[in-house]
Structure 1
Amino acid sequence: MSEARRRLAEAQGRVVAALVAGGEVPEGFDPERMRVQSASLVAKRRDIVARIRPDAAAAAGPDLVAEFAAYAGARATPPPGYRADAEDFAAWLRERGRMPDEEPGKRRRWSRLLSSGP
């Protein structure tokens, strides 16, 4: 990899870290715009996670926004994919006593719906 590509990759990594992991805003970027964009990305993740795991959204109740923000802020990077994000968020709530333990082997109704085709 050339030196220019390596520097570009590092710079891109700093931008991504600022957007999704609370990293320092790189020089030359507007901190307020980065904060707004970061909040938007967290909101998008939260909405998708709530659709994948409505039981987790219901367990968080009116604290969903705050709980998901705390969950997202506690991770250096988001999990690989929305399903993993949804499962991790449910585990986050469970660890905090906000959600009951799942029965082993019991498949959630919505997971069957998500995995079934047309």
Structure 2
Amino acid sequence: MTSPRERLAGQQAQLLKALLAGGEAPAGFDAGRLHIEANVLRNKQSRLAAYLRPDLAETLGDRFGALFREYAASHPKTDAIRARAYADAFGTWLVERGEVPKPPGRLARWLRRGS
């Protein structure tokens, strides 16, 4: 038997998965509204990543938002990773895909350290 606290934690995990990782809407939630809220959250994350990594936003231009959404869909942010580390991980992902050039020297070492 699970405690009320464990049930609540499970329900919260389902809600976060629906909002951040494209999961199913939990019972009692409107799937359409959750989809809208998930888009709002991804846009907010995208703006924060662009603020923290203006080099990526400048290099990618109009492609930044779409690439960030693709990254966020396959790498949902958790409370275990800070916003700057998440933005840096996005940068690493972009380099690995060949979307942006590998940063030179010291910056490359700094990015590896943050991963």
* TM-score normalised over the length of structure 1: 0.82
* Aligned residue number for residue 24 of structure 2: 24
Query: Quick one: distance in 1 between partners of 2:107 and 2:58?
Result: 19
**Deviations 1:68-92 (CA, angstroms, capped at 9, x unpaired):** 11000011x3151110111011112
Matched with 1:89 is 90
Structure 2 gaps, min length 5: 109-115
Residues 22-101 of structure 1: pairs in structure 2 closer than 5 A: 22-75=22-75, 77-78=76-77, 80-101=81-102
Distance 2:17 2:97 in 1: 26
Query: 1:106 deviation in Å?
Result: 4.0
CA deviation map 1:35-85 (0-9, x unaligned): 01111111111001101111111222211221111000011x315111011
Amino acid in the other structure paired with 1:15: L
Structure 1 unmatched runs, 5+: 108-118
Structure 1 position 94, deviation (Å): 1.0
Which deviates more from structure 2 when the two are superposed, residues 79-88 or residues 65-74?
A: 79-88
Number of matched pairs: 105
| Cα separation, 2, equivalents of 1:9 and 1:62 | 38
**CA RMSD, Structure 1 to Structure 2 (Å):** 1.6
Secondary structure at the residue paired with 1:70? helix
Residues 97 and 27 (structure 1 numbering): CA distance in 2 closer, same or farther, change over 3 Å?
Answer: same
Is 58-67 or 45-54 further displaced after alignment?
A: 58-67
Runs of 4+ in 1 over 2 A off after TM superposition: none
How many percent identity over aligned positions?
36
- Helix, strand or coil at the partner of 1:105: helix
Listed as ranges, the matches of 1:97-116 within 5 Å are 97-106=98-107
